[in-house]
């Protein structure tokens, strides 16, 4: 067992050390005038609802003849502050003196004011706060997907031949006009910025040796490099300033040998923010950020971090074929289950009226503590080595993304050791 643990720690160290070497290509001015800050992700926990349970004793009879005491604990008080969203978490990560806190994801919905017979528009909201040096920046975002179907306009969600069934239609997928966007309002105590980004997917050719192909088949499927890349590009604006933000894959790969097994892993997505003079301001590499020295104490620091994390959390709502949330995607998949480790932050207090009730409350709490200890270990393992949540019943792919997607959980466990 000890040898296995040592081997696992060694593997983790090798992966972290390798990815710490991967950096986006910038310029000498930024390299010489920036500071490196490691990103440390937290395990995601929901806000504490401060539950209070009270002992209740009821006299009952077994078979209407034998009296007995039925003891149970019922909730009498909890924090009923509304949580505006489907998934809410306390903290996501820390980068130097910057923390990403108070995350909330809204529900998938149709935007009826923008939809018509030809076009369907859907959206999902999410928000979070960036805190640094006692300053709080609020980022409120909307993911939106618009799909205009030109052919066959009378059977927009039907299969090509079995047109009475929902399903894929290759002509529709090739001719539909699909747009995915991210829009955010970013505000702090002095300024308000608007972030607007457009999303696209593309493919690149990958070259691997025979040995690397074998290694690739041993990796979790979502870690393998199949050549798929995505791009997010846009601006961060207010009345006085304009920053640009984009995804980036321009890594210096000379740190990896041609035969390195790391070359078969899907490359992590980098994020770059530049100022209105086209100078680098903030860069996110796989394991760390690089922050321009001019922005260490700048009032826009929280805005720049908010922009990168908004793009980092983003996932498109619409795609072609099997990559979207529409009914044209009928491929059956195991739907995302809930993050069952999220409740480990919950505190429970007890009001007892008898000595038996006191013992029962202690036993319940001891069991909760043991369970939470195991769940915290599992949550860390999920983050390091990928999602091991129990998969539930099969659903169409579009329903999976629409109903069950947890943006923050996916971002937390993305890539080997959660480094993506």
Same domain (yes/no): 273, 352: no
Same domain (yes/no): 315, 408: yes
Q: What percent of the chain has pLDDT over 70?
A: 83
Q: Summarize the confidence of residues 225-239 as an average pLDDT.
A: 89
Q: What percent of the chain has pLDDT over 90?
A: 32
Residue 240 has pLDDT above 60, yes or no: yes
Distance of CA 98 to the CA centre of its chain: 18
Stretch among 5-9, 115-119, 185-189, 281-285 having the lowest mean pLDDT = 5-9
56-98: per-residue pLDDT in tens?
998 888 887 888 888 889 888 655 555 556 789 999 999 999 9
Name the most confidently modeled range: 13-17, 92-96, 406-410.
92-96
Same domain (yes/no): 22, 55: no
- 66 burial type by CB count under 10 A (0-12 exposed, 13-18 middle, 19+ buried): exposed
Q: 3-state secondary structure string, the chain? A: CHHHHHHHHHHHHHHHHHHHHCCECCCHHHHHCEEEEEEEECCCCCCCCCEEEEEEEEEEEECCCEEEEEEEEEEEECCCCCCCCCEEEEEEEEECCEEEEEEEECCCEECCCCCCCCEEEEEEEEEEEEEECCEEEEEEEEEEEEEECCCCCCCCCECCCCCCCECCCHHHHHHCEEEEEEEEEEECCCCEEEEEEEEEEEECCCCCCHHHHHHHHHCCHHHECCCEEEEEEEEEECCCCEEEEEEECCECHHHCCCCCHHHHECCCCEEEEECCCCCEEEEECCCEEEEEHHHCCCCCHHHHHHHHHHHHHCCCCCCCCCCCCCCCCCCEEECCCCCCCHHHHCCEEEECCCHHHHHHHHHHHHHHHHHHHHHHHHHHHHHHHCCCCCCCCEEEHHHHHHHHCCHHHHHHCCCHHHCC
Q: What's residue 392's pLDDT?
A: 59
Q: Summarize the confidence of residues 43-51 as an average pLDDT.
A: 87
Same domain (yes/no): 237, 369: no
Q: Summarize the confidence of residues 95-123 as an average pLDDT.
A: 89
Tell me how far apart the alpha carbons of residues 55 and 134 are, in angstroms, rounded to a whole number: 42
Residue 137 has pLDDT above 60, yes or no: yes
Residue 228 belongs to some domain of the structure: yes
Q: Summarize the confidence of residues 207-211 as an average pLDDT.
A: 74
Q: What's residue 104's pLDDT?
A: 94
Q: What's residue 33's pLDDT?
A: 93
Residue 14 belongs to some domain of the structure: yes
Q: What's residue 306's pLDDT?
A: 97
Residue 304 has pLDDT above 90, yes or no: yes
Same domain (yes/no): 310, 238: yes
Q: What's residue 325's pLDDT?
A: 46
Same domain (yes/no): 95, 15: yes
Q: What's residue 352's pLDDT?
A: 92
Domain count, the chain: 2
Residue of 160, 117, 178 whose CA lies nearest to 330: 160
Q: What's residue 101's pLDDT?
A: 95
Residue 384 belongs to some domain of the structure: no
Tell me how far apart the alpha carbons of residues 304 and 67 are, in angstroms, rounded to a whole number: 67
310-339: per-residue pLDDT in tens?
999 998 886 544 444 455 555 666 677 678
Same domain (yes/no): 41, 127: yes
Average pLDDT of the chain, as a whole number: 82
Residue 38 has pLDDT above 70, yes or no: yes
156-198: per-residue pLDDT in tens?
667 777 777 766 677 777 777 888 999 999 999 889 999 999 9
Residue 9 has pLDDT above 80, yes or no: no
More confident residue, 37 or 153: 37
Q: What's residue 92's pLDDT?
A: 94
Domain coverage including residue 59: 51-76+342-378
pTM exceeds 0.75, yes or no:
yes
Same domain (yes/no): 358, 409: no
Tell me how far apart the alpha carbons of residues 10 and 33 are, in angstroms, rounded to a whole number: 33
Q: What's residue 108's pLDDT?
A: 85
Which residue in this structure is represented by tokens 């706060």? 129
More confident residue, 275 or 219: 275
Residue of 241, 235, 239, 313 whose CA lies nearest to 273: 235
Same domain (yes/no): 185, 140: yes
Q: What's residue 2's pLDDT?
A: 56
More confident residue, 211 or 40: 40
Same domain (yes/no): 67, 90: no
Residue of 15, 131, 72, 34 whose CA lies nearest to 361: 72
CB distance 182 to 323 below 8 Å: no
Residue 383 belongs to some domain of the structure: no
pLDDT band at 7 (very low <50, low <70, confident <90, very high): low
Residue 93 belongs to some domain of the structure: yes
Name the most confidently modeled range: 76-80, 122-126, 151-155, 385-389.
122-126
Same domain (yes/no): 59, 125: no
Residue 233 belongs to some domain of the structure: yes
Residue 11 has pLDDT above 80, yes or no: no
256-290: per-residue pLDDT in tens?
777 777 777 778 899 999 999 999 999 999 889 99
User: Which residues touch 51 (CB under 8 Å, ≥6 apart)?
Assistant: 75, 77, 78, 346, 347, 348, 349
Same domain (yes/no): 132, 61: no
User: Which residues touch 2 (CB under 8 Å, ≥6 apart)?
Assistant: none
């Amino acid at each position: 067992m000890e040898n296995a643990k040592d081997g696992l720690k060694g593997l983790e160290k090798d992966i972290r050390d390798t990815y710490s070497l991967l950096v986006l290509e910038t310029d000498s001015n930024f390299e010489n005038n920036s500071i490196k800050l490691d990103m440390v992700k937290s395990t995601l926990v929901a806000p504490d609802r401060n539950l209070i349970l009270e002992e209740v004793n009821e006299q009952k009879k077994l078979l209407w003849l034998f009296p007995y005491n039925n003891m149970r604990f019922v909730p009498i008080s909890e924090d009923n502050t509304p949580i505006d969203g489907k998934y809410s978490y306390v903290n996501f990560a820390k980068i130097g003196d910057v923390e990403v806190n108070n995350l909330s994801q809204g529900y998938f919905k149709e935007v009826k004011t923008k939809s018509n017979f030809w076009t369907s528009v859907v959206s999902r909201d999410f928000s979070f706060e960036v805190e640094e040096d006692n300053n709080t920046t609020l980022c409120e975002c909307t993911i939106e997907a618009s799909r205009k179907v030109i052919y066959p306009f009378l059977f927009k969600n039907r299969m090509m031949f079995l047109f009475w069934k929902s399903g894929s239609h290759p002509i529709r997928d090739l001719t539909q006009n699909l747009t995915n966007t991210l829009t955010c309002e970013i505000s702090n105590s002095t300024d308000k910025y608007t972030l607007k980004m457009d999303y696209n997917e593309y493919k690149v050719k990958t070259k691997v040796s025979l040995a690397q192909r074998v290694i690739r088949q041993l990796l979790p499927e979502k870690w393998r490099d199949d050549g798929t890349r995505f791009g997010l590009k846009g601006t961060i604006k207010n009345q006085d300033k304009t920053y640009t933000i984009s995804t980036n894959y321009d890594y210096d790969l000379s740190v990896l040998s041609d035969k390195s097994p790391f070359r078969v892993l899907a490359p992590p997505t980098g994020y770059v923010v530049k100022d209105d003079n086209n100078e680098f301001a903030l860069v996110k590499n796989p394991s760390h950020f690089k922050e321009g020295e001019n922005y260490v104490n700048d009032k826009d620091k929280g805005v720049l971090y908010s922009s990168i994390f908004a793009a980092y959390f983003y996932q498109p709502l619409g795609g072609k074929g099997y990559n979207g949330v529409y009914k044209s995607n009928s491929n059956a998949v195991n739907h995302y289950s809930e993050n069952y480790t999220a409740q480990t932050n919950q505190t429970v207090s007890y009001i007892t009226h008898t000595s038996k009730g006191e013992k029962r409350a202690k036993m319940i709490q001891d069991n909760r503590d043991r369970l939470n200890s195991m769940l915290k270990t599992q949550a860390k393992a999920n983050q390091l080595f990928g999602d091991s949540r129990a998969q539930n019943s099969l659903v169409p792919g579009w329903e999976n993304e629409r109903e069950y997607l947890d943006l923050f959980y996916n971002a937390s466990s993305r890539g080997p050791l959660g480094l993506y």
